A and B are shown apart, each in its own frame.
Chain A
Amino acid sequence: MSAKTNVLFDLPGPKARSRHRLLAVVGAVVLLALLAWVLVRMDDKGQLDPDKWLRVVSGEAWRYYFVPGLRSTLVAAALAIIISMGLALGLAMARMSDNAVLRWAATLFVEFFRGVPVLIMMLFAFYFLVMMGWFPSDVNPLIGTVTGLVAYNSSVLAEVIRNGVASLPAGQREAGLSIGLSPSQTRRMILVPQSLTAMMPSLVSQVIVITKDSALGYMILYPELVTSARRLGSWAGAPFQAYVIAAVIFIIVNYGIDRLARWVETLQRRRGRSAGPIADAEDVPMVGAGVRGTVNAPAGG
């Protein structure tokens, strides 16, 4: 934390510093006591049995459960982000189009799927596909999961693109029109590309949302990380332990993506290619590195 972040309070003096140190010790002791209590309780229930833990971190657990599970999670997330991005571009264009029918259709799509829970969409898509029997059975859960993710995230991303365009200086549009581009050409060639560049950080952090949400595939038997943990739990007779490891993997992966998002953000800022200020908030940093945009509404998952 830089000195700038400390506008909320005076820099602690020697007395305050020693008080803080004392607080830190007390806090650490409290946390350790809590941890100890948790461990004792778990031991009472036989959950510290080393066999249970060894089975869920064994080579077999990784080879047959966690690694394939993580791969399925990443496949669903990657497919979802790519399709969502493409669809979002189309929706955003349609929503800004001069054609009223197109505009209304896109608005309806966006408003509807922003409101429908991802899980409900997934359940519907999956059972619908099962009923229809169009695809091999082991593909149905993947399509169901991706459909649920895409319906919601494409709507959200479409709004991000649209807001990005709205926040561009009016001169950009005027310049486009004045050199003889049509309104739709102006949008396509000048406005949307700038909006896309500016939304890169939100896009990368949307990946976290999608990665976490892919865990909802648990309910439709998509063999992602949580489903794999559940199966590992059945195989090893240690469901709780398997979920703990799955949670740790999720935290590490998402934390990694989060770091990546911040890195992209700083890279962009340093290059100064970011398209104008989207949030004035960034100009007055009181709390260290900026809290990123509100696109990052809590995911389910």
Chain B
Amino acid sequence: MQTILQDFGLLAGFWMTIKLTFWSAIFSLVIGTFVAVMRLSPVGMLRQVGTAYVTLLRNTPLTLIILFCSIGIYGQLGIVLAGRDAPGGFIDTNNFRLAILGLSVYHAAFVCEAIRSGVNTIPIGQAEAARSIGLTFGQSLREIILPQAFRGAITPLGNTLIALTKNTTIAAAIGVAETALVMKNVAEFDPGLLWTAFGLIAAGFVLLTVPMGLLTSHFAHKLAVRR
């Protein structure tokens, strides 16, 4: 067990999982809200772009999206997300950020759909009332619609967060040293420890995601808008 935790870097792997989850959650929430607003907006062009975004991203496997971040955005377009002298190394930092980019844009599509389903829970009267007192689209969205939508979307947003946590394992495809990579190394170099590694990693993820699920249902209940 000591070997897995230290030699194979399982603890470091889990720390990486948490970091990936944290940053991707923030960015996907921001991007997802932005896309949701685009899909709700009066401008046809924005609606189409938003719809296209969701259709494209939601239907592509995350493995491919993360690979494209590395061999496409970095490898072909030459965009780097870290300086050559980044502490922790250029490649590692760059891959870490590219993985966050891939995870964020992918889950943003689901955040967008979650928010739209939250909007669905709002009675039409709310929007009509907002318009009838003369609020513009932006104002009614900001003051009336989105605050209620977020409260109505807690459950799907929570589900997206849980899925995101587990999906960080896919960053292994571009060599980010998180738990799936640890699992792979254990399997290749020390197969005797396969069961132990699986048990520890599975337990770690259950420990991470179960509280998320509990908090989600707690807040979904507590913050639900009384109708």
Contact = CB atoms under 8 A, between A and B. Distances in A.
Q: Are A and B direct contacts in the complex by CB distance below 8 Å?
A: yes
B42 A250 contact: no
Contacts of B194: 124, 127-128, 131
Contacts of B116: 287, 291
Contacts of A24: 43-45
Contacts of A286: 119-120, 122, 124, 127
A120 B205 contact: yes
A299 B57 CA distance: 11
Nearest to B137: A9
B202 A112 contact: yes
A117 B77 contact: no
A27 B109 CA distance: 20
Interface in A10-52: 10, 12, 16, 20, 23-24, 27-28, 31, 38, 41-42, 44-45, 47
Nearest to B192: A131
Contacts of A300: 61-63, 163, 166-167, 169-170
A216 B183 contact: no
B124 A120 contact: no
Contacts of A12: 42
B206 A116 contact: yes
Contact of A27 (B49, B160, B198): B49
B163 A298 contact: yes
Chain A interface size, as a band, is 35 or more
Interface string B39-54: 1111111100100000
Interface residues of B, number: 76
B206 A111 contact: yes
A239 interface: yes
Given A127-B194, A131-B194, A294 B156 contact: yes
A285 to B, nearest CB: 7
A191 B133 CA distance: 47
A73 to B, nearest CB: 10
Interface string B60-75: 1111100110011001
Interface of B: 39-46, 49, 55-56, 58-64, 67-68, 71-72, 75-78, 106-107, 109-110, 113-114, 116-117, 119-124, 127-128, 131, 137, 140-141, 145, 152, 155-156, 159-160, 162-164, 166-167, 169-170, 172-173, 179-180, 183-184, 187, 191, 194, 198, 201-202, 205-206, 208-210
11 contacts: A115-B206, A116-B202, A120-B179, A124-B198, A127-B187, A247-B61, A254-B60, A294-B155, A297-B156, A298-B167, A301-B63
Given A124-B194, A127-B191, A240-B75, 10 more contacts: A42-B77, A120-B179, A215-B64, A226-B63, A254-B60, A284-B124, A291-B116, A297-B160, A300-B169, A301-B62
